[in-house]
Amino acid sequence: MKTKFPLEKFKQLSTPFYYYDVDLLKETAQALKNEADKYGYIIHYALKANPNKKILDILKEYGFGADCVSGNEVQRAIDCGFSPDHIAFAGVGKTDEEIETGLDHKIFTFNCESIPEIENINELAKKRDVVADIAIRINPNVDAHTHHYITTGLEENKFGISRWQFQEVADLLKSLKHVRLISLHFHVGSQITDLNVFEALCDKVNEIQDWFKSQGFVFKHVNLGGGLGIDYTAPNEHPIANFIDYFAIINKNLKVEKGQKVHFEIGRAIVGQGGNLITKVLYVKHGQKKSFAIVDAGMTDLIRPALYQAVHKIENITSTGAEKVYDVVGPICESSDCFAQGIAMAEANRGDLLAMRSAGAYGEIMASQYNLRKLPEHYYSDEL
Ligand code: LLP
């Protein structure tokens, strides 16, 4: 389904703003659910990608759980109607207050990333005389072949517990009375488009599960995290992520124990293609070598190009002029405030509206007020 932009309505709104295509979001969620159901897989929506209340209201209807990385995300998921026993809580630096929030609600798992964290959760649970269900997040040393800022599963990354610590963790867990290890957790990176990475991950999961089994641990759950990529260069041609091949690869390569439930934490692939940043051309400045389309959105509204050299397809949605080549830049006082260099789009004039596509994940939520700018507004296709 191709996103349609209601231009007459857009013209009455002040820019920049995020525009969410609710039909595409629902179609994507349904496609994901259909594929996951084929194998009995359990999906947690990774709130960090986009925690807007309306998006959560829509996604919970598909029966997804939530994957959270802060106490506030846990609270947001609960407030929006996600069941606490479907909430996984990850993160290398959970504060006591955040752990207390999880304990208050008896969440599904704390995904623990270090030995001191396991010890701390045990202490906090002991004070309440409860037992907290935990997963240990393993750092499997699998290269996700994605941007190094969003690679998480290598030995050099801060995430998870590495192989050389397994024996110590296993011995520790046998001695602690207020944490119960129910799952292994893995997440090797984001925007992964090389599906072989997931095959390599499965091989590691199988081997690591066997090691823990040999130590007497039985896991009712295994959590493979998220990371499935989307097509940023061709959102119209590929509006829905390749859930079919993704789950087929996992199903083929993952050894699942009898009765074991397989979980995923998917963010970008659910909400990425449904969001667009709509911005207005303020000025077109012709240099000697290039032309700049200066727009009213900046890196404060969508930081991904500046931070990860990310590509977002940019379309001039109000011009029918012949294609010309532009650098599309924002108004912020930083040279990195550049959305694209040397891209072709329909001739731009002052007042034209541009759509920065595939901005539904890690777009609006990463906005900042640098330069004392306003945070962007958002609108939904079924409300305009
Ligand atoms: N689970 C864990 C433990 C994670 O750290 C993440 C993402 C996910 C699941 C969801 O991954 P996804 O399915 O969305 O790839 N701001 C960056 C992405 C950071 C991803 C952080 N962790 C970006 O704009 O590309």
Tell me the whole-structure pTM to 2 decimals: 0.97
Measured distance CA(211)–CA(295) in Å, rounded: 55
Examine residue 205 and state whether it is found in any structural domain, yes or no.
yes
Give how many domains the chain has, as a whole number: 2
**Within this chain, do residues 141 and 169 fall inside the same structural domain, yes or no?**
yes
Range of the domain at 351: 7-16+274-380
Closest ligand 1 atom number to CA of residue 190: 15
- The domain spanning residue 327 has which CATH number? 2.40.37.10
The answer to the question of residue 137 being in a domain is yes
| pLDDT number for residue 157 | 75
Nearest to 348 by CA among 271, 295, 274: 295
Q: In the listed set 246, 271, 296, which residue is the last one of a domain according to the structure? A: 271
Measured in angstroms, how far is the CA atom of residue 322 from the centroid of ligand 1? Answer: 38
- CA 304 / ligand 1 centre spacing (Å): 13
Pocket of ligand 1 (CB under 6 A): 46, 48-49, 67, 90, 150, 187, 190-191, 225-228, 265-269, 304, 308, 361-362
Angle 243-253/22-39 helices, nearest 10 degrees? 20
| Residue 137 Cα: closest atom of ligand 1 | 3
User: Which pLDDT score, from 0 to 100, does residue 159 have?
Assistant: 79
- The pLDDT of residue 2: 79
Which ligand 1 atom sits nearest the alpha carbon of residue 361?
24
- Structure confidence at residue 142 (pLDDT): 83
Tens-level pLDDT at each residue, the chain (384 residues): 678 999 999 999 999 999 999 999 999 999 999 999 999 999 999 999 999 999 999 999 999 999 999 999 999 999 999 999 999 999 999 999 999 999 999 999 999 999 999 999 999 999 999 999 999 999 888 877 777 766 666 667 777 898 889 999 999 999 999 999 999 999 989 999 999 999 999 999 999 999 999 999 999 999 999 999 999 999 999 999 999 999 999 999 999 999 999 999 999 999 999 999 999 999 999 999 999 999 999 999 999 999 999 999 999 999 999 999 999 999 999 999 999 999 999 999 999 999 999 999 999 999 999 999 999 999 999 999
Q: Which residue from 48, 146, 273 has its CB within 8 A of the most atoms of ligand 1, so it is best to mutate?
A: 48
Q: What is the pLDDT of residue 150?
A: 64
Find all residues with CB under 8 Å of 34, minimum gap 6, and list them.
Answer: none
Q: Which residue has a Cα nearest atom 1 of ligand 1? A: 225
> Could you say which of 236, 271, 306 is where a domain stops?
271
Residues in Cβ contact with 340 at an 8 Å cutoff, skipping those fewer than 6 apart: 305, 311, 312, 314, 326, 327, 328
Q: Residue 84: is the preceding peptide bond cis (ω within 30°)?
A: no
- The answer to whether residue 2 sits within a structural domain is no
What per-residue confidence (pLDDT) applies to 98? 98
Both 155 and 291 in one domain: the answer is no
State which of 110, 142, 190 you would mutate to test the pocket of ligand 1, scoring each by most atoms of that ligand within 8 A of its C-beta.
Answer: 190
> How far apart (Å, rounded) are the C-alpha atoms in residues 188 and 194?
12
Domain match, 356 and 256 both = no
- Whether 174 is covered by a domain: the verdict is yes
- The tokens for 192 are 């992964």
Instruction: Specify the pLDDT at position 1.
Output: 66
**Cα 32 to ligand 1 centre (Å):** 17
Q: Is 46 domain-assigned? A: yes
**What pLDDT does residue 154 have?**
66
